[in-house]
Amino acid sequence: MKYLITGGAGFIGSNFIKYLLNNYPECSIVNLDKLTYCGNLDNLKDIEKDPRYKFTKGDITDEKIANELIKDADIVVNFAAETHVDRSIVNPEDFLKTNILGIYVLLEAARKYDKRFHQISSDEVFGALSLESEEKFKEDTSYAPRSPYSASKAAADHLVRAYFHTYGLKTTISNCGNNYGPYQFPEKFIPLGITNLIEWKKVPVYGDGLYVRDWIYVLDHCSAIDAVLQKGKIGKSYCISSEEEKANIEVARRILKEFNLPEDRIEFVKDRPGHDRRYAVSAEKIKKELGWKAEYSFERGIKETIKWYKENKEWWLKLKEKARFERF
**pLDDT tier for residue 292 given thresholds of 50, 70 and 90:** very high
pLDDT, tens digit, 9 for 90 and up, residues 160-206: 999 999 999 999 999 999 999 999 999 899 999 999 999 999 999 99
Residue 57, H or E segment: strand 53-57
Q: Is 238 a catalytic residue?
A: no
pLDDT, tens digit, 9 for 90 and up, residues 105-154: 999 999 999 999 999 999 999 999 999 989 999 999 999 998 889 999 99
- Considering the candidates 82, 123, 220, 276, report the single residue annotated as catalytic: 123
What's the pTM value of the predicted model, to 2 decimals? Answer: 0.95
| Cα distances (Å, whole numbers) of residue 222 to 15, 18, 126, 183 | 7, 9, 21, 14
- Considering the candidates 33, 59, 82, 124, report the single residue annotated as catalytic: 124
Look at residue 321 and tell me whether its pLDDT is greater than 90.
Answer: no
Residue 35, classed as helix, strand or coil, is: coil
Q: Is 226 a catalytic residue?
A: no
Q: Which residues contact 312 (CB under 8 A, 6 or more apart)?
A: 182
Q: Is 163 a catalytic residue?
A: no
Q: Which residues contact 45 (CB under 8 A, 6 or more apart)?
A: none
Helices and strands counted in the chain (H then E): 12, 12
Q: List the domain boundaries for the chain.
A: 2-181+217-241+278-295
Look at residue 93 and tell me whether its pLDDT is greater than 70.
Answer: yes
Q: What is the mean pLDDT of the chain?
A: 94
User: pLDDT at position 90, please?
Assistant: 75
**CA-CA distance, 92 to 106, in Å (whole number)?**
21
| Cα distances (Å, whole numbers) of residue 251 to 12, 96, 207, 246, 310 | 20, 31, 14, 7, 18
For β-strands 212-217 and 245-247, DSSP reports them as antiparallel
- Considering the candidates 53, 149, 180, 211, report the single residue annotated as catalytic: 149
**Amino acid letter, 245:** E
| Cα distances (Å, whole numbers) of residue 306 to 83, 105, 256, 257, 313 | 22, 38, 11, 11, 11
Q: What CATH number was assigned to the domain covering residues 2-181+217-241+278-295?
A: 3.40.50.720
